[in-house]
Structure 1
Amino acid sequence: MDVSREPEHAPPVTAPLVSPIAQLAYVFSEYSTTTGNAMSTKINAQARAHEAMGGRTFVVVSDRRQHDYAEGTLVRYASSRSTRREWFTDLERRVDGLCGVTLGRRPCVARFHRDALAAVPADAQALVVYNYAGAVTDRLVRNFGGKVVLHLGNDVFRTWRPAEIRRVIERTHVTVAVSDYLASTITDRIGSRPDNLHVLRNGVDSDSFRPVPRATGGPVTILSVGNVTPHKGVHHLIAAAHELSRRTRDFRVHVVGSAGLRPADGLSAYEQELRRAAAPLGDLVRFTPFVDRRSLPEVYGAADVFAMPVQWQEPAGQVVTEAMASGLPVVSAPSGGIPEYLGPDGIYVDPRDATAFADALHTLVASPGERVCRGRALRTRAESLTWEGNVARLMQLLAD
């Protein structure tokens, strides 16, 4: 695992600014501080950076949702889809999988995005579609006329045949992935790297997320933020906390997040199990089900260590860059694209090994100097991951 390379710096924009740009995330997601949806956060940050450069960003959103981000020009559309079927269903996924194999196209996901795509303003010079590759059809390319960007933040091609992957990437002006890891999964599946496949790493708001003075002498707070589902591995953190408590009680674990991406009425079965597992630790562990975007910097500011115990191949991890910008040392699984962001100053463990995980946490709990040293190094690294650089790089790719 090579973690020595610095994050990619985007050179200044020398090509003409592409404007307006239309951005399309999940068709029923909120463009709001009240959701933990990473795509909405990313679109907001890119819209802010694009507008600061003198560009204009259209953000295509459903009129069934509340949207409160100020950046970008909202373009609302009315959906013909039933309110009882606002999520892409398992049946539709199965049908699309079969059609992808037999016909080379995915009609359900194309229909799912039809109303949103029809609302894209005619004067948009580029359209960015997030993750839903099946929405990038020949018909879209013909009707839109501008440059189409497929922005990949997840491994969306798991069930796709190589020929189908090639066709959809060929339809785009550029396809971008958030890490070398994610781009390599595509290359491995199709046997070669398309000329228009590029890595466009996420930025981070280093003004909002920044180091703050931390109190000395009290328990060390180990923070976890994210979607609380099994593949995010919070149960591994709880197991490590049990092991750590046998060595010291000078720590507190704070788990922030819920099973969904917004406040929920109740706890999932997994969340309930986490609380049962943590109960013997008493006040060493606490849970906060949801925090909106505006309050997150304060949450990071109250922590001393960040834990990322994921048990899947995380393509990037928005919370990792936020922790880095906040000056926190990070203990993480060496999965997916995370090492590309953390580099050599991250601490890597197999989170399934509770003893090794506790060892890494204990080193940081016991050594304030180690926490400060690693936190400063990660903050410096985060400062190179700007949204301005992210958008500048996208402008260059669109101008090529």
Structure 2
Amino acid sequence: MVHSMLRALVARGHDVQVWLTRYGYAQEAYDVDGVQVFPLSARLDAGTALKQAHVVISHLENVPSTAALSRGFGRPLAVICHNTFAQTFRDIAAGGTALVVYNSLWMQREADLYFAERPAALRPADTMVVRPPVYADDYRTKPGRCVTLVNCNPEKGGRLLETLARRMPDTRFLAVTGAYGEQVLPDLPNVEIVGHMSSHQMREQVYSRTRVLLMPSLYESWGRAGVEAMASGIPVIAHPTPGLCESLGEAGLFADRNEPEAWAAILRRLETAAEYRLASKRAKARSAELDPTAELAAWCERIEALA
């Protein structure tokens, strides 16, 4: 999500830098779509870069420390929120944040309820909604044959995938490992397991092989993978979290994650050509509705106003 938003700033001519706060494989600075990335192991001076910035953007666990530095250097801070956890809202309240970006309308409503009970001084100066931007052309492909789960963490539905694969031995499943948490990786002949990959690889290595996407997540504030899949008319079956209900809209096929037979029934229904065509048509229509152009333009304008 954040990379897509930074790409939009690059496209408008801005110098965009990302300073990583976790160790990874890279040792030297590199470029991704015009965004300059500085690994933690490069041992470069992030403080000086922040001091020289016109606007500072942060998210997740980095917000408290980034907010302190931003205040110290007198730089406006924009925070991007990915969840409705209490800690997320507490970090905003402590940060003197100039702009808060919520990734969904329901998250914005939850935040409004939280800040309504706090003093005005703790509320962010400005807020907006930017739904995780997905340009359909970046993901559009011809659907494949597999029933796919992206991230096999139990909370994302790894155990449900295993249950469905055992119940439907004639169906091909694709299990894409996630970047975090325990992974449930079934050792079954009808399940193929592939490793975690970047968003640049998803179209060719995942969506081109996917006929139906599963999203049995216990919690999703939005659900970007579902929107990516819908760009190709891939039907998405999801647990009805508030975020997934908002992102998938009428195109979503919903079932409780604790009722595997309901998921199997939908999968069997989608084996019918007419049912699949209808679900695919709805998915493409929803993808078109979620074109991010206007929201990214508004995002860039808000950041430029802070500079």
TM exceeds 0.5?
Answer: yes
2:270 aligned to which of 344, 347, 364: 364
2:81 equivalent among 148, 152, 155: 152
Deviation at 1:338, TM superposition (A): 1.3
Please give the alpha-carbon distance, in whole angstroms, between the structure 2 residues aligned to 1:201 and 1:192: 26
- 1:348/1:179 CA distance change after superposition, 3 Å: same
Task: Tell me the CA shift for residue 206 of structure 1.
Answer: 1.4
Query: More relative contact order in 1 or in 2 (CA 8 Å, sep 6+)?
Result: 1
Higher helix fraction (1 or 2): 2
Q: Please say if 1:305 is aligned against 2:212.
A: yes
Map of 1:48-87 to 2, 5 A cutoff? 48-61=7-20, 65-66=25-26, 67=30, 69-75=32-38
Distance 1:379 1:53, change over 3 A: farther
1:36-65 Cα offsets, whole Å, 9 max, x none, are xxxxxx343223322223333222246964
The corresponding residue for 2:164 is 240
Corresponding residue pairs, total: 294
Check whether the contact 1:177–1:200 (CA below 8 A) recurs between aligned residues: yes
Residue 178 (structure 1) aligns with = 103
Report the alpha carbon displacement of residue 305 of structure 1 after superposing the two structures with TM: 0.7
In the TM superposition, what is the alpha-carbon distance from 1:186 to its structure 2 partner? 2.5
- Residue deviations 1:54-90 (CA, integer Å, cap 9, x gap): 333222246964245242234566687xxxxxxxxxx
Q: Note closer, same or farther for the CA distance 1:291–1:395 as it changes in structure 2 (3 Å cut).
A: closer
Q: Greater Rg, structure 1 or structure 2?
A: 1
Amino acid at match of 1:379: K
% of aligned pairs identical? Answer: 23
Matching of residues 104-143 of structure 1 within 5 Å: 116-120=46-50, 122=52, 124-132=53-61, 133-143=63-73
Question: Per-residue deviation at 1:225?
Answer: 1.3
Match of 1:342 among 248, 252, 264: 248
Distance, in Å, in 2 between the alignment partners of 1:69 and 1:387 is 20
Look up the equivalent residue of 2:146 and give its one-letter code. T
In the aligned structure 2, how far is the partner of 1:301 from the partner of 1:75?
Answer: 32
Provide Cα deviations, 1:149-172, integer angstroms capped at 9, x if missing partner: 0101123434876xx75343xx11
CA distance in 2, matches of 1:73, 1:204: 21
The residue that corresponds to 1:3 in the other structure is none
Say yes or no: does 1:321 pair with 2:251. no
Tell me which residue corresponds to 1:44. 3
CA shift at 1:355, angstroms?
1.2
In structure 2, relative to structure 1, the CA distance for the partners of 1:384 and 1:126 (3 Å cut) is farther
Select 1:376's aligned residue among 281, 296, 301.
281
User: How far, CA to CA, are the matches of 2:9 and 2:86 in structure 1?
Assistant: 29
RMSD of the TM alignment (CA)?
3.1
Q: Compute the TM-score of the two structures, normalised by the length of structure 1.
A: 0.64
* Paired residue secondary structure (2:149): strand
User: Are 2:153 and 1:229 equivalent residues in the alignment?
Assistant: yes
The answer to whether 1:255 aligns with 2:175 is yes
Unaligned runs of 5+ in 2: none
Q: TM-score, normalised by structure 2?
A: 0.82
User: In the aligned structure 1, how far is the partner of 2:66 from the partner of 2:86?
Assistant: 13
Which letter does structure 2 place at the counterpart of 1:323?
A: A
**How far, CA to CA, are the matches of 1:362 and 1:377 in structure 2?**
18
Deviations 1:83-102 (A, max 9, x none): xxxxxxxxxxxxxxxxxxxx
Conserved 8 A contact 1:334-1:348: yes
For the 8 Å contact 1:327–1:379, the answer to whether it is kept is yes
The aligned amino acid for 1:371 is Y
Q: How many angstroms apart in 2 are the aligned matches of 1:384 and 1:361?
A: 25
